[in-house]
Structure formats: structure tokens, C-alpha cells
Amino acid sequence: MITGKSIAKGAIVVMAATLLSRLFGFIREMVIANNFGLTSETDAYLVAFAVPSGIAMAIASGISAGFIPVLNSYLVKNKRDDADTITSTLINVLAVLLLLVVAVTISYAPLLVELLAPGFEGDSIPLTAEMIRIMFPALVFVSLMGIASGFLNSHQHFLFPALGPMITSIIIIASAIVLGPVMGIRGLAVGTTAGFACQFVLQLPVMYKKGFRYRMEFAIGHPGVIRVFKLMLPVLIASLAPSLLLIVERGLASGLDTGSISALNYAYRLMQLPLGLFLMAVTVPIFPALSAFAAQNRLDRLRETLVKGIKVISMIMLPACAGLIALSVPIVRLLFERGAFDASNTVPTAYALSVYALALLPFSVRDIFRRGFYSLQNTFIPVVITVAAFILNVLLDFILIRFMGIGGLAMGAVLTALIEAAALYILLSGRLGALQGKNLIILLLKLFAASVVMGVLTYFCSGILGLRVDLDSGMGRLIQVGASVFLGIIVYLIGLLVLKVPEIQEAIDMLRGVYKKVI
């Protein structure tokens, strides 16, 4: 049974596990930056992995949107035999289809490089093709993770799916350290594939413990399987848009200075820290709840849960945006500037990060609204909006890159996400009724004001500390960033109290209640 307590516990589990995963993800990026820097080899690695990871993430998103609501509809009726049949069929069908895709792609890897990175020249082309052959099998494992995660989340188990990326990061880190000196960037590619394989395999015992019994079945005629495919196909199409966009952006960046692809990637990874940590902590536990409320036709509870999710995520993402902009250079310097990654690499990476930071709230709100539609088993509207947004984003990228370089690619994502979130809000309000639009606007204005003050003071604090500590040492950089972040948090909380934001007391009361229930 899904309760407020189970959602709260799920949020804590996901946040803690995601924090660990993000921590190891940053260590992974730091190790890669230290060993390879912003080089043509790193660019080749990122381009080679863009296609399999992008397709796999799209498949995983599609499965999540279609699989969880359908599986929940069988579990609430205690039809576990049907649940096993649906899960096994999805695993089998997906594995067969993806293995065929992998075989074809490996055969035509050089042609794929010409399409993905038209700006590549010389040794970068055969190197990228070789790494495509090494990493494309990861497509199978990442995609199957979508089924494993959906099954476990539907059973209110969030820990292992959230820890999965940490497992992958640890193996990639080990490969960079152990295989990197021997095989170069190819060793990193081998570790990437091995990491995703382990991430999926380690979910299987947990699925078994939760009652899953695998069967060699291809029950594609089962009503549940048909329903999953009907729901997931539109989402799959929509989820491919970000992956295709990533490919387009890296293709455009391949014509800029060497290392532009890597700088854009590192900036995007940094932006993903607050996005991945807090957005997942909110959306992963509430999505099964939203699906359950929709199945029970309790639209009032669905609307209430959705609005609370928007309020909570807004209180986090707006100050995170201000902080990343104010501290873009110190943060990049602290995390990446060592080894092959020097001061000249910090500048373009920090520039891209400061623009990407503007997308934190639009990305978050957009994702929550999408899940609102998915919980209603309506995937058509989000797909139409996403396809339109993809076209707009590509157009903006071609225009803005001329004036802003890699920052133009980031700004295209920001503007598109804003428009997409607004469209989803309007359409979802038509389905569920008013989503407290006036109250949300007032809250956002207060949060914006507190975040701006926080960002300005944090920026000046960072500058003053930069003159008083040794920025060539890791401790000096840590003091600069750590003290500035601490000041920013204090200033932001004071701002919320001064502006009398009621949600802050509600959040404190909620955390107290969650602590008592969990402990």
C-alpha cells in the first residue's frame, strides 16, 4: 500500500543513494579529466558513447512511463503471475531486438562517426569508430535496467536502482586508473561497458527477493504487454529527442575548438548534480503514488501531490541555479583543475556551466508535469510537446552557437525547457483543474528574490576568499567553495524567513515527521 510514510521513506532512500551515486559520478569525471583533460581523445570517447547511452536512456524512460502504471494495476489486484509474465516478456523482447541493433551498428561504426561528428579529422575518426564497437553493447544493459528499476520501484524498493550508477562509476574509475595507463582511452571504454553490465546484473537478485520469477516467455499478446508497448512507444519517441539533441549538439561542437565537446559534457555533469539528486528524490517516489491515485480516480490527491512536488523542487532549484552561476569558476577549479585539465580548460567549462544552471528549474518542472500525464496513462500530449520542443531546440542551437559558442548550445536548452514546461502546465491544468497558478507565481517570485540576494553575496564572498587563500592548493579551493556555499545557504534561509514563505515551515514540519517515522 502506498502511503505518505512510504513516499517519505522512499524520498529519503533515493536522496541518500543518489547522493552517493552523484558523489562517485563526480569522482569519475574528476578522474577522467585528470587523466585525459579536454583532448581530442576525450571528445572521441564522448561522441562514441552518445548514441548507445542516449538510446538506452530513452528506452529506459519509455519503459518506466509505460511499465510502472501497468504493473501497478496488476499488483494492486494481487495478480503476481501476470506481473511476472509481463516483466519476463519485456526483458526477452528487448534483449533480442537490442542485440540485433548492436550487431548492425558495430558493422557500420565508421559511417556512424561521419554522421555524428562531421568536424572530426585524422586519427579521431578511426578512434571513435573503435570505441563505438567497444561501448555499443552497453545499450542492452542500460535498457534492461529500465525494466529492473520499474519492477523494483513498483514494489516500493528504491535503494538498488538509485545505487546502480554508483556501481558503474566505481568500475569506470577503476578502468581509468588501471587500464588507462595501458590501453589509453580504450581502457575507459572497456570499463564503461563492464560498469553498465554489472549495474544490471546486480539488480537481478533483488528482483528475485521481491518475488520476480523469470520465464523464457514471449507473451507479446498479453493485454498487459500490449498496454505497456502502447504507453511506452510515444514516450520512447519523446525520450529520443534529448538523445538526438545531444548528438546534434556534439556534432556542432565538433566544429569548434578542440575540447569543446568535453567542456560541454563536464558542465552538463555539474548541472546534473542538483538536478539528479533532488529531482530524483521527488519524482521517483511520487510517480508510483501518482499512478496509484490516478488508478483510483482520486484526482484531488493526484493534483495535491503534484503541486507539492513543484513547490519543493522550486525551493531547491532556484538557489542551486544562483549558486552555480555565482561559483561556476571556483567549482570547476575545485573539481577538475588538476593533471591534464589546466586553467585554460576551466574557462570554457565554467562558461557553459553558468548558462546550463538556468535550466535547473525548467528541467525539473517539465519532468514533474510529464509524470503527471504519464500517471494518467496519457503519453500522447507529452510526446507532441517534446517533439515540437526538439525542433525548436535544434533551431536555437544553430542560431545561438554563432553568437555564444558552446554557451549557445546550453542557452538553447534553457529557452526550450521554459517553453515546454509552460505548455505542459497549461495542458495539465486543463485535465486536472487549477494547479494553484497564482500561489505558485507568488512563491516563485519570493524564491527568486531570495536566490538573487544569495547569489550576489555568495559571488562577493568567493571573490574575497579567493584573495586570501592559496587557490593553487586543493584546501584553498575547498575553503573558497565550501565557505561560500555555507554562507549562501544561511542567506537563502534568512531570505525565506524574511519573505515569510509558508512552505519552509511546512518543509521543516514534514522533515521532522519523516525523521520520527523513519527512525
Domain regions of the chain by residue span: 1-39+259-378+431-519
pLDDT surpassing 90 at residue 458: yes
The least confident of 57-66, 321-330, 463-472 is: 57-66
Q: Name the nearest CA neighbour of 343 among 40, 30, 38.
A: 38
| Torsions phi, psi for 156 (to 5 deg) | 60, 30
**Mean of pLDDT values over 299-304:** 73
Question: Please, is 518 exposed, middle or buried when counting C-beta atoms within 10 Å of its C-beta (0-12, 13-18, 19+)?
Answer: exposed
What value does the mean pLDDT take over residues 163-184?
86
Residue 55: what pLDDT?
Answer: 77
Q: Which three three-digit cell numbers place residue 288?
A: 508510483
Sign of the torsion angle spanned by Cα atoms 142, 143, 147, 149: positive
Report the pLDDT value the prediction gives residue 1, as an integer from 0 to 100. 44
Please state, in angstroms and rounded to a whole number, the distance separating the CA atoms of residues 429 and 389: 19
Query: Each residue of 472-507: pLDDT tens digit?
Result: 888 888 899 899 999 999 999 888 888 877 766 655
pLDDT band at 326 (very low <50, low <70, confident <90, very high): very high
Q: What confidence tens digit (pLDDT) does each residue in 71-97 have?
A: 777 776 777 777 778 888 888 888 898
More confident of the two residues 384 and 75: 384
Supply the pLDDT for residue 516: 45
pLDDT tier, 157 (very low <50, low <70, confident <90, very high otherwise): low
CB-CB neighbours of 373 under 10 Å = 24
End-to-end CA, the chain: 20
User: Rounded to 10 degrees, what is the CA torsion of 16, 19, 20, 21?
Assistant: 120
CB 151 within 8 A of CB 84: no
Least confidently predicted of 3-12, 238-247, 484-493: 3-12
